Amino acid sequence: MSDLQEEGRHAINSPMSPASADIYPEDTLLEENEERTMIDPTSKDDPKFKELVKVLIDWINDVLVEERIIVKQLEEDLYDGQVLQKLLEKLAGCKLNVAEVTQSEVGQKQKLQTVLEAVHGLLRPHGWVLQWTVDSIHGKNLVAILHLLVSLAMHFRAPIRLPEHVSVQVVVVRKREGLHSSHVTEELTTTTEMMMGRFERDAFDTLFDHAPDKLSVVKKSLITFVNKHLNKLNLEVTELETQFADGVYLVLLMGLLEDYFVPLHNFYLTPDSFDQKVHNVAFAFELMLDGGLRTPKAHPEDVVNLDLKSTLRVLYNLFTKYKDLE
């Protein structure tokens, strides 16, 4: 598990004792039956929470320095989708088809919808848990915004160090029959946990750490399995970590295993860049999910970076389902 993944696990994931909810007077000016959610002041004042917010703001500003965009407050600067659009375009190297400036609430939400759909398209195939909505981001829900930013930072392997053991408590205030009531819930405790759960130690960690002599046996079995199918296209694999790194063989293998033709416009047959290779591996992961397989315990970037353990995990996932396929 990489340092960033380990930090991500702890970044927003450690219980604290419930704090009394000191509700500010201006926050209790609610209409009848209205409900409002806010971060408990105790959490906001916690040094680690402040550090998490600062690290994310500094990261966004570093990414967008050429755009001359300066973020000072996450809730106020990200809610309308403008900065999120620029951030995603810069990180993913894409261009979103959205209006540059939108003043109306409807226009802002439409932009947010487009931006978040693009984010979901990147994160969902890899099993990331999505803890935000258009309404929560546009409503300046800082917890939802933090969920989103931490997910993006982890997905794109941001060169930042997230503080450990950050906990956020949320106060939910309601007005019923003229009376206010409130209760405290703990947020930011499951998203990273669920996202990272699939990276917990497994049999391959044990194999690499304690039984490296058996590694060649596993590799031989997997090579025999993949060649049984790839040979139908006159392809042959001898090195797992290198020949699957560009994602082409993975995509073709999925088509062979599921007995369908994968249209060539869906992937790069001769990828010549890191991003194209990542696209291919991520697309293969989508095909696996469509075929009913478990989410691979690897990032596409790991496979592209010739990480043997990640490649073995992906192929073993296929082997366990299709090993008896004639």
Alpha-carbon span 146 to 152, nearest angstrom: 10
Q: Assign residue 184 a region (left: φ > 0; alpha: ψ between -120 and 50; beta: otherwise).
A: beta
**Contact 207/239 with Cβ under 8 angstroms?**
no
Confidence of residue 24 (pLDDT cuts 50, 70, 90): very low
What tokens appear for 235 in the block? 């392809």
What tokens appear for 172 in the block? 């939910």
- More reliable by pLDDT, 187 or 126: 126
User: Any idea where the domains of the chain sit in the sequence?
Assistant: 31-196, 203-323
How large is the average pLDDT for residues 54-60? Answer: 94
Whether pLDDT at 27 is above 50: no
Tell me how long the chain is: 326
Whether pLDDT at 207 is above 90: no
Q: Are strands 35-39 and 179-187 parallel, antiparallel or unpaired?
A: unpaired
What SS3 class is residue 144? helix
Residue-wise pLDDT for 301-310, tens only, equals: 788 888 888 8
Q: Given strand 168-176, what is the order of strands in its sheet? A: 35-39, 168-176, 179-187
Give the closest residue to 34 by CA, choosing from 236, 179, 205, 212: 179
Whether pLDDT at 271 is above 70: yes
The CATH number assigned to the domain with range 31-196 reads 1.10.418.10
Whether pLDDT at 311 is above 80: yes
Distances (CA, A) of 173 to 29, 106, 179, 320: 10, 26, 10, 50
Strand residue runs (E) in 177-232: 179-187
Mention every residue, 6+ apart, whose C-beta is less than 8 A from residue 158: 4, 59, 152
Alpha-carbon span 305 to 22, nearest angstrom: 49
- At position 123, the amino acid (one-letter code) is L
**Contact 196/44 with Cβ under 8 angstroms?**
no
β partners of residue 168? 187
Do the domains spanning 31-196 and 203-323 agree at the CATH topology level?
A: yes
Mention every residue, 6+ apart, whose C-beta is less than 8 A from residue 267: 247, 248, 251, 279, 280, 283, 284
How large is the average pLDDT for residues 71-75? Answer: 93
What pLDDT is recorded for position 299?
76
Whether pLDDT at 4 is above 60: no
How many C-beta neighbours within 10 Å does residue 115 have?
24
- More reliable by pLDDT, 41 or 83: 83
β partners of residue 181? 174
Q: What is the pTM (predicted TM-score) of this model?
A: 0.51
How many C-beta neighbours within 10 Å does residue 8 have?
26
Whether pLDDT at 125 is above 70: no
CATH of 203-323, one of 1.10.10.10, 1.10.418.10, 3.30.230.10, 3.40.190.10: 1.10.418.10
Confidence of residue 25 (pLDDT cuts 50, 70, 90): very low
Whether pLDDT at 228 is above 90: yes
Alpha-carbon span 161 to 265, nearest angstrom: 38
